Amino acid sequence: MKLTSAQFKKDFLSEIETLYSTALADTSNIEQYIALGHLVRRYNSQSWTRTAKRYRDHQQKQVYYFSIEFLPGRLLAMNLLSLNLLSTFKRGLSELGLDFETISQAEPDPALGNGGLGRLAACYMDAMASLRIAGNGNGIRYRYGLFKQIFMNGYQVELPDDWLRTGNVWETRRDNKSCVVRFGGNTWLKKQPDGHLQAHYEHTEDVLAVPYDIGVVGYHNDITNTLRLWSAELPPSVTKTYYSQEQRDRVSDITKVLYPDDSNTAGQQLRLRQENFFSSAGVQSIVRDFCENNDDLQQLGKKIAIHINDTHPTLVIPEMMRLLLDEHDCSWDVAWTLTMQVMSYTNHTILQEALETWPIEMFKTLLPRIYQIVTEIDRRYRRQELPIFGQKIVDQTAPLGNGQVRMAYLAVIGSHSVNGVAPLHTKLLKTDVLRDLYQVYPERFNNKTNGITMRRWVQLANEPLSGLIDTTIGKGWRRNPNRLQELIPYQQDDHFLHQLLEVKQQNKWALAAYVQKNMGIKLRTDAIYDVQIKRLHAYKRQLLHVFEILREYFKIKDHPEQAVVPRVHVFGAKAAPSYHYAKSIIKLMNAVADMVNQDPVIGDKLKVVFIPNYGVSLAELIIPAADVSEQISTASKEASGTSNMKLMANGALSLATHDGANIDIIHVAGAENEYPFGLTAAEVYHYYEHGNYHAADFYHADPELKRILDSLIDGTIPEVETVGREIFDSLIQYNDEFFVLADYASYTQQQRQISHDFQDQPTWQQRALVNIATAGYFSADSAVARYAEDIWQVPHDQLT
């Protein structure tokens, strides 16, 4: 849309007037942000209306992306980028004496997710809108997002994330699209005169699901899709029934808070309530909208695609069956065929403890009708497959087993497609986690390697780099990231390489300024910025990185006279509040950081900054400043990773195990431009098969490693008596579940190599350039295009 800064200023001042009836000078950053948000809503409102109308008029097939987590990040700058209004707003504001950055930082960051899964959902929403796919998000409007993290004496402390305190300018409450979700009570089927079985409910606990819609703006294409987040409320009582406070709380508790675990199924009834709440509300509203615009249910599979983001929304399968059977008089076979045509499922983890199963008793009590349908799905699955695959396979793959409802199995059986998120992960699904179901439905399994939206993670997060790329190869890459490859020839261009170094320098200054201001730690910007940003989990091995820091620390302490290549180690990591071991590692990380940062002998040769409250907005500040991308998970454990792709696209070189998408990064950019190390997945599985891993052997065989481990328990590191012992024992006594000691030697070997190579900046920048140039391979637009073609069968814009 064409907008002059004069027009913008006029509109902005009138928005301030309308909202606050006071002079601009009397308004706060948050008020100015809200006014800007309202302005964007006004400028984009027609596009949103037009988009919905166009989809209806063209009967366009809709994709519904169900995810219990969405991590959209701040939306003001992102929407302005997609509307091509960013520079106008920035100019207009500076002409009014205001700074866009300062105001945009007043926007709360909606932390409605834990990590990779939630952020991927947000990247894919952005990509679907930018590819003109009718992509609708479906999730939960948590009143409180992921906890705010602070460190008290080095320990993680969780604070409530009251993100809606100042409202949410981007959402629209849609009362007339509400629906009722039932819980508990009794259900029975009564034969109707026409022989049809009608479901009857009594004593159910009815909850009103109220949708809040957020616009998802496509990139320069006048498309605005919808992210629908459901909120639980008491139904407007027809009979003026009195609801006790307890009853009120029971209902609002459903969407009160996000479960902060990202790899350990809570197994709590409230979590099952949450999963059923947004799954049922979502499917009801989809079928309602479908029936308003279509009269032939047989067309459902041609007009609707529902994607199940991990097992958390799996209840959409029996819910769709319930609606088709109970409210649309479909026969079982017709309903089942339609359901499978519509449903597709993505698995995001192979960790056993993350694969959801629900005790049948809890499931049956809370969801009686849904349980009846799951029982029938199980019965028909067993009857169908038993003759072919035999009792053992059927017992190991049916949805019901060992007193549990096995959600991953139900998701596979009820979907026409099952995909992993990186080639190794998909292989492990076929050969390990879902091996038996792969035998039954081999044709359903496929791989869809993850992707990231370059619009947020390069264009927005790294304007210096984006500007340099524009002046070098033009702006074509902004619409088609594969065109970043046109940078490859500039490996020989010293001027360009120097400009690339300056861009990295600029981003380091920005990060150093934040760290100085918020943590009081002074960082030099000619150091190697060695970054590890992800949830705290034993398999992600932040511990291995800490051991490298201790190695560097002892080296300087032993030889203070020796020159070293200065390093800044940057961490961002939240631990699930119930994950004790992870919280112990956080305490150790902060203790080591204090010891290193306060040691005069070390000075500024080595710094460790563990930035609290890591999330999307901090990632946008840290990633552009990184030189080294720590992707050091135990091979086979990280399904894909996506921070690895973001860091690559911003010119960091990957210090990476042969795990998840690291393998693809090393392949695409070339191993010579990365630092691969460690056991392969096959070697890890070999240890499992032979049970011959003895961590203590590595401890005893390597004096350097022994010194590091002993420092956990011998008082070298202040204040880690308890956690030091706990971690030491987890390695030596409990045999190091994630092979930290086995990978220590090759890891530190590569760390030494990095210190050596970094001194040759032209070559380093050449390798950084190759990472940037080849990162287009991991664009969310390409990934989503593959989902559209192979799984959802919907048309999409070509990347021009």
Distance (Å) of CA 708 to CA 522, 549, 582? 26, 10, 19
State the nearest-atom distance from the C-beta of 265 to ligand 26W, in Å.
Answer: 4
Choice between 267 and 670, CB closer to ligand 26W: 267
Which tokens hold the place of 523? 């960082």
β-partners of residue 216 are: 225
Task: Report the alpha-carbon distance of residue 654 to residue 623 in Å, rounded.
Answer: 12
Q: Which residue is it, tokens 């675990």? A: 261
Window 593-652: residues binding ligand 26W (CB under 6 A): 638-642
How many other C-beta atoms lie within 10 A of the C-beta of residue 37? 19
Interface positions, 75-114, toward ligand 26W (CB under 6 A): 114
355 with 311: CB under 8 angstroms? yes
Per CB under 6 A, 426 contacts ligand 26W: no
Closer to ligand 26W at the Cβ: 168 or 633? 633
Which residue from 82, 104, 263, 748 is in contact with ligand 26W, where contact means CB under 6 A?
A: 263
Q: How many helices (H) and strands (E) does the chain have?
A: 32, 23
Judged by CB, which is closer to ligand 26W: 131, or 661? Answer: 661
Q: How far is the CB of 208 from ligand 26W (least distance, A)?
A: 26
Residue given tokens 């006029």 in the structure block: 10
Q: Which of 73, 92, 108, 115 binds ligand 26W (CB under 6 A)?
A: 115
User: Contacting ligand 26W (CB under 6 A), which of 354, 374, 663, 780?
Assistant: 354
Amino acid at 351: L
Residue among 89 and 345 whose Cβ is closer to ligand 26W:
345
Rank residues 354 and 473 by Cβ distance to ligand 26W and give the closer one. Answer: 354
Position with the least CB separation from ligand 26W: 116
**Phi and psi dihedrals of 512, rounded to 5?**
-60, -35
Among 117, 308, 315, 681, binds ligand 26W (CB under 6 A): 117
CB of 263 to ligand 26W, least distance (A): 5
Read off the amino acid at residue 561.
E
Range 290-349, binding ligand 26W (CB under 6 A): 310, 348-349
- Catalytic residue numbers? 348, 534-535, 540, 642, 646
Considering beta carbons, is residue 110 or 116 the nearer one to ligand 26W?
A: 116
Shortest distance, position 166 Cβ to ligand 26W, whole Å: 28
| Diameter over CA atoms, the chain | 94
Among 35, 39, 75, 120, binds ligand 26W (CB under 6 A): 120
Closest separation in Å from C-beta 473 to ligand 26W: 29
Q: What is the DSSP string of 224-247?
A: EEEEEEEEEEPPPPTT-PPPPHHH
Beta carbon of residue 539, minimum distance to ligand 26W (angstroms, whole number): 9
CA 725 to CA 721: how far, in whole Å? 6
Q: Does 450 bind ligand 26W (CB under 6 A)?
A: yes
Which is closer to ligand 26W, CB of 34 or CB of 783? 783
Q: Rounded to whole angstroms, what are the CA distances from 782 to 344, 470, 770, 777, 788?
A: 18, 21, 19, 7, 10
Question: Which of 121/503 has CB closer to ligand 26W?
Answer: 121
Which DSSP category does 633 fall into?
P
Across 234-324, where does the E strand assignment appear? 304-309
Single residue of 11, 171, 261, 378 touching ligand 26W by CB under 6 A? 261
DSSP 507-574: HHHHHHHHHHHHH-----SSSEEEEEES---GGGTHHHHHHHHHHHHHHHHH-TTS----EEEEEE--
Minimum CB separation of residue 65 from ligand 26W in Å reads 13
Nearer to ligand 26W, 255 or 642 (CB): 642
Choose, by CB under 6 A, the member of 171, 356, 552, 620 that binds ligand 26W: 356
If 0-12 CB within 10 Å is exposed, 13-18 middle and 19+ buried, where does residue 601 land? exposed
Chosen residue from 73, 116, 145, 399 binding ligand 26W by CB under 6 A: 116
Q: How many residues bind ligand 26W (CB under 6 A)?
A: 23
Min. distance of Cβ 642 from ligand 26W in angstroms?
5
Are 624 and 643 a contacting pair, CB within 8 Å?
Answer: no
- Residue 262 lies near ligand 26W (rule: CB under 6 A): yes
Asked if 263 and 356 count as a contact pair (C-beta separation under 8 A), the reply is no
The DSSP line for 110-134 is --BS-SHHHHHHHHHHHHHHHTT--
φ/ψ of 572, rounded to 5, equals -140, 125
Please say whether the beta carbons of 218 and 130 come within 8 A: yes
Nearer to ligand 26W (CB atom), residue 93 or residue 649: 649
Nearer to ligand 26W, 262 or 530 (CB): 262
Give the span between the Cα atoms of 113 and 119, in whole angstroms: 7
Closest to 178 measured CA to CA, from 281, 57, 43, 74: 281
Q: Which stretch binds ligand 26W (CB under 6 A): 259-267, 298-306, 587-595, 616-624?
A: 259-267
Cα-atom radius of gyration of the chain, to the nearest Å? 27
Residue 226 · residue 202 · CB < 8 Å: no
The sign of the CA dihedral 519, 524, 525, 529 is negative
CB of 406 to ligand 26W, least distance (A): 14
Alpha-carbon span 646 to 536, nearest angstrom:
18
Selected from 40, 418, 421, 780, the binder of ligand 26W by CB under 6 A is: 421
Q: Which of residues 657-696 bind ligand 26W (CB under 6 A)?
A: 660
Instruction: Candidates 211-219, 258-266, 604-612, 762-770: pick the segment binding ligand 26W (CB under 6 A).
Output: 258-266
CA distance 276 to 319: 9
Q: Could you tell me which of 208, 252, 178 has the C-alpha nearest to residue 244?
A: 252
> DSSP state, 70?
B
* Sign of the dihedral defined by the CA atoms of residues 490, 510, 611, 526, in that order: positive
Measured from the CB atom, is 641 or 724 closer to ligand 26W?
641
Contact residues toward ligand 26W (CB under 6 A) are: 114-117, 120, 261-265, 310, 348-349, 354, 356, 421, 450, 638-642, 660
